[in-house]
Structure 1
Amino acid sequence: MILLAMFILLLIVGMPLSFSLLLTGLGYFTLSEHIPILVGVQRIVAASQSFPLLAIPFFILAGQVMNKSGITRRLISFSNLLVAWITGGLAHVTIVLSALMGGVSGSAIADAAMQSRILGKPMIDSGFSNGFSSAIIAISALITATLPPSIGLILYGFVGNVSIGKLFIAGIVPVAYY
């Protein structure tokens, strides 16, 4: 009960959620009689020292570099060149762009956010309804999670103690093991 009150108080004061969770977690180890506080600190440090999990901030960095350098606009132009001539071309551009961005950003949520910001308004202006535009963007972003490298594959490999390299190969060429 004390930890819940501490968490809510930290949120009311305006502490960011991540720090509120961190301080409440450390409060658990402080208030616990059987677990030393050093165990909590060791767990936090051990989680941050994971080599496979270093890929996640680098995916975020790659997305920011792509947006700032104009690579994202070039990928949109390339996708537009490939499929814009088809009826409903902008919807097809969204799907092709998701496939291209999936190999770079690795995050379906980041892909959907980027596409909704860049392609949402042009899709509506070209005559697509709000629901159709948002559905195409959301569904096409799901392809990002299946194309390697993706954050989902890295996290699954890390948590399940599965070879991340084999997961990437399975994402490219599905192989059945008997």
Structure 2
Amino acid sequence: MTAADSSRSDLVRRFFAGVTEYAFAARMGVADPPLVDYLTELLVRFVASDALYGLRTPRGDRISQVTDMLAEAQARHGSARRRVHRHIGDFTLFWSGVYPEVAERMRKADWKDSLLDYQDQGRRNYAIAAQLPADDTSAPDELLARLSDNFQLCVYGLGEVRKAWEEREGESDAPLLLG
């Protein structure tokens, strides 16, 4: 990573941290720093589509539908299974909260996911991930359980985050993300 990439990444992280904290604390009255930090990192990770669609089969094929992600989760064990269930939670939360119109189009498309409710899947998969063994501490069990229990609140909050950044875009001619 170059110095310019690092600087850009820091700017993106600070921007999302600011709008996420503003949306949850000021607009919604939700004071939960670990939850806000997690959602900030989710947004930073998913700015790049390679992270959004980062789940791969053992052969290296990209997995883009939740139905296929669920099958992949069943094929994995231990912390690898937890990572897939967490990714499903993150994926469905991102689309349901930030771009619900895209989630709806994906649901109505002639895809396997058209039979799924993304919000139910997100809640369910965070709950499953919280119960599986972890190999890292980036997402503690209790935080994943709170994401499951408060999934609808997080969906609403990410919608507020989007509104806040769209309001910011209207204040300046500068694009949100550079280069």
Shared fold by TM > 0.5? no
TM-score where L is the length of structure 1: 0.36
TM-score (norm 2): 0.36
Structure (1 or 2) with the greater helix fraction: 1
Structure number with bigger Rg: 1
